A = this chain, B = another copy of it.
Amino acid sequence: MDYQSVLERIANDVAPQIGRGRPAEYIPALAAVDRRHFGMAAADIDGRVYGVGDWQRPFSTQSITKVFTLALVLATGGDDLWAHVGREPSGNPFNSLVQLEYENGIPRNPFINAGALVVTDRLQTLTGDASSELLGFLRQESGNPDLAFDPKVAESESAHGDRNAALAHFMASYGNITNPVPTLLDHYFWQCAIEMSCADLALAARFLARHGIRADGSRLLTRSEAKQINAVMLTCGTYDAAGEFAHRVGLPGKSGVGGGIVAVVPGRCTLCVWSPGLDARGNSVAGVAALDRFTTLTGLSVF
């Protein structure tokens, strides 16, 4: 497939959407980003990468890194994770405490904040340094040794971290968090603060299109585990809009409030799009539109 010309057509088609929506405003480092940015990259399973617009410009990955943390925990610790976090859509806004209480401290899935805290807690237990482990993995898969944390973002997250602290203490009260809450929160906030470009992310996510095989040809995940992550991305990857995203785009995807979205066409390619303006449910307006165009133009939806 001629990804480059598809991407160029998409960039043209979604131009009217760019700048719509509002950047995340709860931390200054995100609020200050110019909402007119737009970039999109595709990486095929052989590692060729294509792009348009700001596809090489780093942005704040935010929740997108939750996919990679999940993969590392499954790769390292295996299915035991699923005793501590569910795989069902949450049916509630992404940081709700309500459902957590009804279900005795077991978060519904690994992509709501509570679930991601559990996954990070386990990576910390398995490796002793969850955020460094993640950064190292992302550098290797993207082939970009310069990937780094943005300390201003991490500090901002920490300064506005009362709700995540509440979630962590609440789950700790059920025995579902094992590391000290302040340590856990540090690693959690550092993960949200990794800066990557669309190209970096499309390359780093390729193991999900390659049924678990890493960039260097070694196996990270079993075929079944890779499928599981794609399934949980499809049903839970875009906050409270997963049904809408499945309906419009029809691909496994994971969004972040930095305006990025990673999507996977199993067996074919990975995509990453970035534009900072968010809709009411926290997903990039132009980003969702671009992925919608992609599946319409290529027919590459999973449905």
**C-beta contact mask, A216-240 vs B, less than 8 Å → 1, else 0?**
0000000010111011101110001
Measured in the bound complex, the distance between the Cα atoms of B247 and A235 in whole Å is 9
| B250 and A242 within 8 A (CB) | no
A160: chain B residues within 8 A (beta carbon): 173
Q: Interface stretch among A17-25, A58-66, A96-104, A119-127?
A: A96-104
Q: In whole Å, how far is A179's beta carbon from the nearest beta carbon of chain B?
A: 13
Bound Cα distance A236, B235 (Å): 9
Q: Measured between alpha carbons, how far is A241 from B91 in the docked complex, in Å? A: 13
The answer to the question of A92 belonging to the interface, with a C-beta cut-off of 8 Å to chain B, is: yes
Whether the pair B97, A101 counts as a contact (CB closer than 8 A) is yes
A302 contacts the other chain (Cβ, under 8 Å)? yes
Contacts of A101 in B (CB 8 A): 96-98
B231 pairs with A236, CB closer than 8 A:
no
Bound complex: CA A300 to CA B164 (Å): 39
* Contacts A89-B88, A163-B170 given; does A246 touch B240 at CB 8 Å: no
Residues of A77-125 whose CB lies within 8 A of B: 86-92, 96-99, 101, 108-109
Given known pairs A97-B170, A173-B166, the reply for A232 and B227 (CB within 8 Å) is no
Please tell me which one of the listed residues B165, B173, B181, B235 contacts residue A89 in the complex, with CB atoms under 8 A apart: B235
The reply to whether B303 and A252 contact each other, CB–CB distance below 8 Å, is yes
Instruction: Judge if A2 is at the interface, Cβ distance under 8 Å.
Output: no
C-alpha gap A172/B301 in the complex (Å)? 37
Copies per assembly: 4
A241 to chain B, nearest CB (A): 7
Task: Find chain B residues with CB under 8 A from A234 CB.
Answer: 234-235, 246, 303
Judge if A146 is at the interface, Cβ distance under 8 Å.
no
Contacting B at CB under 8 A, from A152-169, are 160, 162-163, 165-169
Complex Cα distance, B227 from A219, in Å, reads 32
- The answer, yes or no, to whether A266 is at the interface (CB within 8 Å) is yes
CB distance from A67 to the nearest CB of B (A): 14
Shortest CB distance A261–B (Å): 17
Residues of chain B with a CB closer than 8 A to A89's CB: 88-89, 91, 235, 242-243
A232 CB contact (under 8 Å) in B162, B228, B247: B247
**Which of B108, B165, B247, B252 contacts A165, CB < 8 Å?**
B165
Using Cβ atoms and an 8 Å threshold, which residues of chain B touch A241? Answer: 88
- Beyond contacts A88-B91, A108-B243, A166-B169: 9 other A-B pairs, Cβ-Cβ < 8 A, are A88-B89, A88-B241, A88-B244, A162-B181, A166-B166, A166-B167, A224-B296, A266-B302, A266-B303
